Amino acid sequence: MADLINVIRDWLYNLMISWGASQDLAGFVLQVLGSILVVILCFVIVIALIWVERKLAGRIQDRFGPNRAGPFGIFQSFADIIKIFTKEYVTPTGADKSLFNIAPVLAMASVLAIWAVFPFAINVIGADVNVGVLYIVAIGSFGILAILMAGWSSNNRYALLGASRSVAMLISYEIPMVISLLIPVLLTKSMQLSAIIEAQRPWWFLIVAPTAALFFLISSMAEIGKAPFDLLEAESELVAGYHTEYSGMKFGMFYVAEFLHQYTVGALITIFFLGGWSGPMAASWPILGVVYFFTKTFLVYLVISWIRLSLPRIRIDEMLDLNWKFMIPVSFLNLVVVAVADRILMDLNLARWIYVGVMFALSMGVLLISLAIAGNSKPKVERVQFPTRPVAVSPQSDQSKS
Amino acid sequence: MLSYWLYIGIFLAVAVAFPIIAVSLPAIISPRKPSRRKQEVYECGIETEGDIRVQFKSQYYIYSLIFLVFDIETVFLFPWAVSLGKLPLFAVVEGVIFIAILFAGLIYAMQKGALAWS
Amino acid sequence: MSLGMLIFLLMVVVTTVAAVAVVTSKKLVNAAMWLMVALFGAAVAFVLLQATYIAVIQILVYIGAIAVLIVYTIMLTRDPDEAQEPGINKQWPIAAVLSLVLFVGLAYFYYTLPQTDVLAPALEGELNAVSLLGQQLVSPNAYVLPFELASVLLLAALIGSIVVAWRK
């Protein structure tokens, strides 16, 4: 019971060996089964998440969410899926058909492929590659290409405009995301995800490097296009941005990819800053590790939803100013401070809790000083002073002028 | 170690196959009644006119160039970060110098106003 | 035919087809996408050589940054209705003969030079490639000077791109 997943895997392996398959073939079939299982799990999770999101949005906005389709509206997602399945695919005239059809598939595949390297428990990892962190960032960048493809192939001026703007925002916010990812890598001295979780056994990286966690959260929210960074969905401005011309299941793929991306970002924050699958007794009972992993991910997902439903959208120039003028310099500063402090404190060989305390204080110091400096900087928009003039001019003075 | 990458290859194949299946299934079930009106490009209800070329903003190009420079910087920084445990303090200082040189470039770009969205 | 050989052949076929499609494609955006497929094939080649860090960097930099740059340039400066030039021009028979001669010459040199048949000696022990790379990058008697010069080069690229591309 404790090691359920590995028990099932070994049983299947021995079953196939007893049927006469070679060891390589049995291993190969197990890997295929494992990946299919994870992909199906992702789809099932998204179905549940859509319901959670709509109920939560309703409650925060002081209304009921969906409550007709089944008790508490839990069958709403299924109704939506059935509806989307039966919608017609409308391809706009002049659209580049091959790119038009590849874009939603690529958007979904790029988010799904991130799940290949996730550590679900102490010995349940798909692929524990030694460049896990960079693999995640690299596969995420396929999604950016999918957005460009979608905007270009729609043959729609507004879709192209929306795609260009959203890609500009996405690539801008990828820099502080990668720099904030450098800090757990630096503290672990390895890029393997399982090593990063092992290094968080005594203290989570949320405590050791809170600024990195905060900046990773903010830049990931910009990457997934959630408010206050959701200019991709700014209905009043650009209809629906890059997926204006999509209908039916192709739009459904973009929609599902967005929810799954939000959940995946929750999983990344869990792995890098919240200790992943670690928790009480998770090392000896791997099934508990899986439970902790998904629970922590869901909690981060709720936090992201909560922020999204509470804050208004910010303008694109303010958003890009925030990135280039505040987040990138402060992330670099934070990286330098953490690197130097980690090296010096490691040499001094202090007790664990002193180390954690000093790192926490330094990170918070960097954040607060940067916020103070940013708060004191002058706004660049000067208010134009119009001369006061009366609203209504009496006829005599008017005739005397003319 | 290569078996991990085989798993990633299998996973990528599965991750591409599932959306393809999901996108092709409705094509069998759903109606297919193309009409000229339906296939017109959407422009808030009015007819489309002119070409669809977006007005060229050099800003997009600048952002992607600067992103490329910083991307390659992180390519250098990842091995540095991974190997910090085995190196003396001046290795950290060398990395800080690397970051500082590019930071100066960022400040230059900021002062020039090249990073503001006009 | 082992699995590694199979994957290698698949990668070769995909990369070659994509490379030919880049050159002969009529629409520029399609050519850019085929270029990304060809570079993905190169990344698979790196994985087969166990240079996993280089493979991941290949995808990150090429498909994440350079593809976006190329597609931005094409999208923002091209009229999609303009007449697309044919992908192949009139001198293609001469070019085909020349490239065949080049290929035959290179293959001949590869098979007659003595060192190309010998495998490089394997490094012993548990290999932590990224950590070793990092140590080599910052140690004074290895590559620290190129490391710092690379940052100066990137700075020059940054400033140059602003000077060239930005108009007030």
- Residue C126: pLDDT over 70: no
Which residue, B77, C91, B3, is CA-closest to A338?
B77
Of C27, C36, C52, the CB nearest to A145: C36
B6–chain A Cβ distance below 8 A for any pair = yes
A257-307 pLDDT, tens digit each: 989 999 999 999 999 999 888 888 877 788 888 899 999 999 999 999 999
Lowest-confidence range among A179-193, A231-245, B78-92?
A: A231-245
Chains sharing 3 or more CB pairs under 8 A with chain C: A, B
Tally of CB atoms within 10 A around A261? 23
* Higher pLDDT, residue C81 or B112: B112
pLDDT of residue A236: 46
What is the percentage of chain A residues whose pLDDT exceeds 70? 93
Distance of CA A138 to the CA centre of its chain: 14
pLDDT of residue A379: 67
Judging contacts by C-beta atoms under 8 Å, the chain B residues touching residue C138 are: 80, 83, 87, 91, 94-95
Q: Which residues constitute the domain of residue B48? A: 2-112
Determine the average pLDDT of the residues in C112-119. 72
- Residue B93: pLDDT over 80: yes
Judging contacts by C-beta atoms under 8 Å, the chain C residues touching residue A94 are: 80
A160–chain C Cβ distance below 8 A for any pair = yes
Of A32-46, A154-168, A234-248, A309-323, which has the strongest mean pLDDT?
A32-46
Q: How far apart are CA A231 and CA A163, in angstroms?
A: 10
The CA distance from A378 to the nearest CA of chain B, in Å, is 15
* Residue B14 in domain: yes
Every domain of chain C and the residues it spans: 1-81, 129-168
Residue A260 has phi, psi (to 5 degrees) of -65, -35
B2–chain C Cβ distance below 8 A for any pair = yes
- Residue A362: pLDDT over 60: yes
Contact A138 C64 (CB under 8 A): yes
Number of domains in chain B: 1
Average pLDDT, chain C: 84
Judging contacts by C-beta atoms under 8 Å, the chain B residues touching residue A190 are: 82
pLDDT of residue A40: 93
The CA distance from A172 to the nearest CA of chain B, in Å, is 7
Of C53, C68, C79, the CB nearest to B64: C68
Every domain of chain A and the residues it spans: 1-86, 89-374
Judging contacts by C-beta atoms under 8 Å, the chain B residues touching residue C152 are: 101
Q: Which two tokens stand for residue A286?
A: 């791997």
* Residue B117 in domain: no
Give, rounded to a whole angstrom, the gap between the first and last alpha carbons of chain C: 61
C52–chain A Cβ distance below 8 A for any pair = yes
- Residue B47: pLDDT over 80: no
Residues 103-162 of C with CB under 8 A from B: 130-135, 137-139, 144, 147-148, 150-152, 154-155, 157-159, 161-162
Which residue, A355, A117, A331, is CA-closest to B106?
A331
Q: Which residues pair with A121 in a beta bridge?
A: A124
What Cα–Cα distance (Å) separates residue A276 from each residue in A121, A193, A194, A213, A223? Answer: 8, 9, 9, 14, 21
Which value does ipTM take for this structure? Answer: 0.89
- Residue A192: pLDDT over 70: yes
* Higher pLDDT, residue A23 or C69: C69
Of A31, A85, A335, the CB nearest to B26: A85
Contact B91 C139 (CB under 8 A): yes
Average pLDDT, chain A: 85
Contact C63 A139 (CB under 8 A): no
Of B39-43, B92-96, C91-95, C120-124, which has the strongest mean pLDDT?
B92-96
Residues 48-77 of C with CB under 8 A from B: 48, 50, 52-53, 57, 60-61, 64-66, 68-69, 72-73, 75-77
Judging contacts by C-beta atoms under 8 Å, the chain C residues touching residue A167 are: 68, 72
pLDDT of residue B85: 80
- Residue A2: pLDDT over 80: no
- Residue C144: pLDDT over 60: yes
| Rounded (10°) angle between helices A210-223 and A157-188 | 160
Q: Which residue of A has its CA nearest to C30?
A: A99
Give, rounded to a whole angstrom, the gap between the first and last alpha carbons of chain A: 96
Which residue, A136, A133, A137, A111, is CA-closest to A196?
A133
CATH number, residue B71: 1.20.58.1610
Determine the average pLDDT of the residues in B26-30. 81
The CA distance from B78 to the nearest CA of chain C, in Å, is 8
Cβ C160 vs Cβ B105: under 8 Å = no
Cβ C127 vs Cβ B49: under 8 Å = no
Q: How far apart are CA A150 and CA A144, in angstroms?
A: 10
Cβ C57 vs Cβ C47: under 8 Å = no
Angle at the Cα of C140 (from A176 to B94), degrees rounded to 5? 25
* Residue B12 in domain: yes
Token pair 């404790």 is found at: A2
- Residue A164: pLDDT over 80: yes
Q: Give me the total of CB pairs closer than 8 Å, taking one residue from chain A and one from chain C.
A: 69
Task: Report residue A94's pLDDT band, with 50, 70 and 90 as the boundaries.
Answer: confident
A22–chain C Cβ distance below 8 A for any pair = no
- Residue B103: pLDDT over 90: yes
CATH of C1-81, one of 1.10.3720.10, 3.30.70.330, 3.30.590.10, 1.20.120.1200: 1.20.120.1200
Count how many Cα atoms sit within 13 Å of the Cα of residue A356 in the half-sphere of its side chain.
Answer: 13
Chains sharing 3 or more CB pairs under 8 A with chain B: A, C
C47–chain A Cβ distance below 8 A for any pair = no
A223-271 pLDDT, tens digit each: 888 767 776 665 445 556 677 778 888 888 988 998 999 999 999 999 9
Contact B4 A129 (CB under 8 A): yes
Q: Please list, in sequence order, all residues whose beta carbon lies within 8 angstroms of the beta carbon of residue A139, skipping any fewer than 6 positions away.
A: A110, A113, A114, C59
- Residue A399: pLDDT over 60: no
Contact C72 B64 (CB under 8 A): yes
Determine the average pLDDT of the residues in A131-156. 88
C38-85 pLDDT, tens digit each: 999 999 999 988 888 999 999 999 998 999 999 888 877 766 555 566
Judging contacts by C-beta atoms under 8 Å, the chain A residues touching residue B97 are: none
A191–chain C Cβ distance below 8 A for any pair = yes
Of A130, A148, A191, the CB nearest to C71: A148
